[in-house]
């Protein structure tokens, strides 16, 4: 059996597990009952480690079996504070946090995402969600 056919079969199995676990009220790439994380991935972000931050967040959430959607976005306009991420807890306003290295990312997951406790480094005065399109 080709690798790809096997991979897609494994993916199907994983889908069934996830379907049993997350409550998908709607078929959407961005279901609003899941934690949403956007990582700013413009040249300035990439150069300052945004890719490593994004990979770390994905691995940590996966290891802890936390359901979320993690996406990339363009320049958020905070080049001085890259890597920058935006976190939206279900039913809450988005929060933008700057200088998120892997250590900071871990803190954000433990405190804010798991317990709703605010962390240092929140960039104030932005209640608009950043869309790069």
Partner 1 sequence: MKDLSMHILDIVENSVKAGATQVVVDLNYHDDVLEMTIRDNGCGMDTETVKKVLDPYSTSRTTRKVGLGLPFLKMNAEQTGGAVQVESEPGRGTLVSATFVTTHIDCVPQGDIPATLALLITGHPDINFRIRIAKSTGSFEISSEEIKEVLDGVPVSHPRVNVFIRNMLKEEI
Would you tell me which residues interact with partner 1 (CB under 8 A)?
A: 3-4, 7-8, 10-12, 14-15, 18-19, 22, 24, 27-31, 34, 39, 41-44, 46-48, 51, 54-55, 57-59, 61-62, 66-72, 74, 79, 132-133
Minimum CB separation from partner 1 for residue 71, in Å?
5
Minimum CB separation from partner 1 for residue 27, in Å?
4
Q: Long-range contacts made by residues 20-25, C-beta under 8 angstroms, separation at least 24?
A: 21/65, 21/67, 22/67
Q: In the complex with partner 1, which residue's Cβ is closer, 12 or 128?
A: 12
Query: Do 65 and 34 meet the contact criterion of CB atoms below 8 Å apart?
Result: no
- Tell me the C-alpha to C-alpha distance, in Å, between residue 26 and each of 30, 32, 71: 9, 9, 18
* Euclidean distance between CA atoms 126 and 129, whole angstroms: 8
Minimum CB separation from partner 1 for residue 30, in Å?
7
Minimum CB separation from partner 1 for residue 79, in Å?
6
Q: In the complex with partner 1, which residue's Cβ is closer, 11 or 103?
A: 11
Rg value, the chain, Cα = 16
- Tell me the C-alpha to C-alpha distance, in Å, between residue 72 and each of 16, 37, 47, 49: 26, 8, 15, 13
Q: In the complex with partner 1, which residue's Cβ is closer, 49 or 121?
A: 49
Q: In the complex with partner 1, which residue's Cβ is closer, 5 or 120?
A: 5
């Amino acid at each position: 059996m080709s690798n790809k056919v096997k991979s897609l079969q494994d993916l199907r199995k994983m889908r069934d597990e996830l379907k049993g676990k997350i409550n998908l009220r709607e078929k959407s790439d961005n279901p609003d009952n899941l934690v949403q994380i956007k990582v700013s991935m413009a040249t300035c972000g990439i150069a300052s480690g945004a890719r490593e931050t994004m990979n770390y967040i994905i691995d940590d959430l996966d290891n802890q079996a936390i359901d979320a959607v993690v996406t990339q976005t363009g320049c958020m306009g905070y080049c001085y504070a890259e890597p920058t991420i935006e976190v939206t807890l279900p039913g809450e306003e988005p929060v933008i946090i700057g200088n998120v290295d892997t250590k900071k990312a871990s803190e954000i997951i433990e405190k804010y995402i798991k317990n709703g406790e605010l962390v240092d480094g929140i960039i104030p005065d932005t209640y608009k969600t950043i869309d790069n399109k």
